[in-house]
């Protein structure tokens, strides 16, 4: 009673304000704001939250209020929510669900979260091939009353739950009442096995413009349906993970503003330190070229320019290849085609940068006499090095994702900073060796 009064005394919060402020609110304020919505608004709002926010909100509600919210979720979303709940609280939440849903959710929890099985809704409209349109419609009506589920297609199954074909609701509505399902059903259906990775599943959705794909077990029995609305989130998540890897950080796993400073440093320090240790090889390599630098300080002037050009061209190549792999445009066996293509791209790009570099040095030389009496030799050294380093950067950047994939790692780990670091060390060696060759007898 006292608590109710306190709550009443605080101002009501509008749906718009709550949405707007949600990311910034702490758990208690979220609960307060959520409870102050009217029931219809609260339903919509709860369903519109991410799985993560749904879970946090439910866990902060008193035990007595949890049931209502868990029960409005379809089984696949309820399973997603429970996936991340600590073991000891999971049983308590499961017990809030009705028997049929509990059963479905337990089955779904047995799948890996990233598999087709973990994404699918186990409830769908079933019909038999020998049914008439009229029978099928009233049969589906009964199914809906018992267990509401996905409703874009009716799936035609035999007695052993094998998938024979699909009928869209559009077709079903358009059929004359007596015509048979088996005469109109489409029999060539894109399906996925339970264990298929969600990235692969999303590729099929994009490729075939589908709204729903049935999931079959290894014996061809239909287990559920994955729908495009779940895939939209999967595609965004996978892209986010790839982008974060390409940028050279560990996957954040949560919205940017929800990761604390310490968590942020932890997720970034690992890769950054690894890259730093790799980059230390530049200092080691440079000690071998100390004499050259001492004799021709001009070499040091162009060092950052030359090695960073290798890094930039490597970043380009690796990013293009990683994305093409993720989209399914490139497979492991395409590596040699890619190397051949990137050889010519790298050579072309190297020649362009080399030419710009030579022009820049000769121009400065003729105007300011910046490089003493050896302008042309410096220009040739830098120009040739650029061709070599850009070619090398491009080839490394394109091969590394294949190599990582072949070794069983995620190709996206061949991040732009990783390739840049690798090319810095090797680019430096190329540069000083070109210099030794060209400058022997003059500057060196």
Q: What mask, x for binding a copy of itself by CB under 8 A, covers residues 14 to 33?
A: ---------x----------
Sign for the CA dihedral angle at 105, 106, 108, 112 comes to positive
* Shortest distance in whole angstroms from residue 323 CB to a copy of itself: 5
Residue 369 in the binding site for a copy of itself (CB under 8 A) = no
DSSP state of 394: H
Q: What CA–CA distance (Å, rounded) separates 125 from 229?
A: 18
Size of the site for a copy of itself (CB under 8 A): 118
Tell me which residues in 109-128 interact with a copy of itself (CB under 8 A): none
Options 7, 21, 280, 437; binder of a copy of itself; rule CB under 8 A: 280
Options 42, 140, 435, 443; binder of a copy of itself; rule CB under 8 A: 140
Tell me which residues in 334-363 interact with a copy of itself (CB under 8 A): 334, 337-338, 341, 344-345, 348-349, 352-353, 356-357, 360
248: left (phi over 0), alpha (psi -120 to 50) or beta: left
Q: What CA–CA distance (Å, rounded) separates 421 from 310?
A: 10
Nearest one of 77, 144, 64 to 104, comparing CA atoms: 77
Options 302, 335, 392, 432; binder of a copy of itself; rule CB under 8 A: 302
Q: What mask, x for binding a copy of itself by CB under 8 A, covers residues 209 to 228?
A: xxx---------------xx
Pairing of strands 163-168, 222-227: unpaired
Residue 434 in the binding site for a copy of itself (CB under 8 A) = no
Closer residue to a copy of itself (CB): 117 or 311: 311
Q: DSSP string of 322-336?
A: HHHHHTTS--GGGHH
Options 83, 191, 370, 413; binder of a copy of itself; rule CB under 8 A: 370
Residue 161 in the binding site for a copy of itself (CB under 8 A) = no
Q: What CA–CA distance (Å, rounded) separates 49 from 73?
A: 11
* Shortest distance in whole angstroms from residue 140 CB to a copy of itself: 6
Q: What CA–CA distance (Å, rounded) separates 263 from 260?
A: 5
* Shortest distance in whole angstroms from residue 92 CB to a copy of itself: 25
Those residues with Cβ within 8 angstroms of residue 19's Cβ, 6 or more apart along the chain or in another chain: 45
Options 117, 242, 385, 411; binder of a copy of itself; rule CB under 8 A: 242
At 297 the three-state DSSP class reads: coil
At 186 the three-state DSSP class reads: strand
Closer residue to a copy of itself (CB): 95 or 294: 294
Closer residue to a copy of itself (CB): 10 or 296: 296
Q: Which two tokens stand for residue 129?
A: 């091939």
Contact yes or no for 106/94 (Cβ under 8 A): yes
Residue 53 in the binding site for a copy of itself (CB under 8 A) = no
* Shortest distance in whole angstroms from residue 267 CB to a copy of itself: 9
Q: DSSP string of 300-330?
A: HHHHHHHHHHHHHHHHHHHHHHHHHHHTTS-
Closer residue to a copy of itself (CB): 4 or 40: 40
């Amino acid at each position: 009673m006292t608590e109710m009064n306190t709550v009443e005394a605080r101002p009501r919060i509008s749906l718009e304000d709550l949405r707007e402020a949600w990311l910034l609110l702490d758990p208690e304020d979220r609960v307060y704001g959520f409870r102050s919505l009217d029931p219809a608004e609260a339903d919509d709002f709860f369903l519109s939250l991410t799985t993560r926010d749904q879970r946090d909100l439910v866990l902060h509600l008193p035990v007595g209020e949890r049931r209502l919210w868990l029960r409005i979720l379809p089984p696949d979303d309820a399973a997603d929510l429970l996936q991340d709940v600590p073991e000891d609280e999971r049983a308590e939440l499961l017990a809030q669900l009705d028997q049929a849903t509990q059963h479905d959710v337990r089955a779904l929890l047995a799948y890996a979260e990233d598999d087709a099985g973990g994404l699918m809704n186990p409830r769908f409209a079933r019909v038999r091939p020998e049914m008439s349109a009229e029978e099928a419609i009233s049969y589906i009506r009964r199914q809906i009353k018992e267990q509401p589920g996905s409703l874009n297609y009716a799936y035609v199954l035999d007695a052993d739950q094998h998938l024979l074909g699909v009928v869209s609701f559009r077709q079903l509505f358009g059929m004359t009442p007596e015509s048979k399902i088996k005469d109109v059903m489409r029999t060539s259906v894109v399906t996925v096995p339970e264990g298929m990775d969600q990235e692969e599943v999303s590729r099929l959705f994009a490729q075939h413009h589908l709204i729903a794909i049935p999931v079959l077990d290894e014996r061809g029995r239909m287990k559920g349906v994955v729908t495009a609305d779940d895939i939209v989130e999967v595609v965004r998540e996978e892209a986010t993970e790839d982008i974060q890897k390409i940028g050279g950080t560990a996957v954040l796993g949560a919205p940017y503003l929800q990761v604390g400073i310490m968590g942020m440093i932890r997720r970034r320090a690992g890769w950054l330190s690894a890259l730093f240790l790799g980059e230390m090889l530049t200092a080691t390599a440079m000690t071998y070229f100390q004499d050259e630098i001492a004799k021709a300080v001009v070499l040091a002037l162009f060092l950052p320019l030359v090695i960073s050009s290798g890094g930039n061209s490597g970043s380009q190549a690796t990013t293009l290849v990683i994305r093409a792999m993720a989209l399914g445009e490139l497979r492991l066996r395409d590596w040699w085609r890619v190397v051949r293509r990137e050889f010519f791209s790298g050579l072309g790009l190297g020649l362009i940068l080399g030419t710009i570099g030579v022009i820049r040095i000769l121009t400065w030389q003729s105007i300011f006499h910046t490089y003493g009496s050896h302008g042309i030799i410096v220009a040739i050294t830098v120009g040739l090095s650029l061709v070599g380093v850009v070619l090398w950067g491009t080839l490394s950047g394109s091969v590394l994702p294949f190599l990582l994939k072949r070794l069983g790692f995620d190709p996206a780990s061949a991040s732009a900073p990783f390739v840049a670091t690798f090319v810095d060390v090797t680019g430096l060696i190329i540069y000083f060796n070109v210099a030794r060759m060209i400058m022997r007898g003059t500057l060196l």
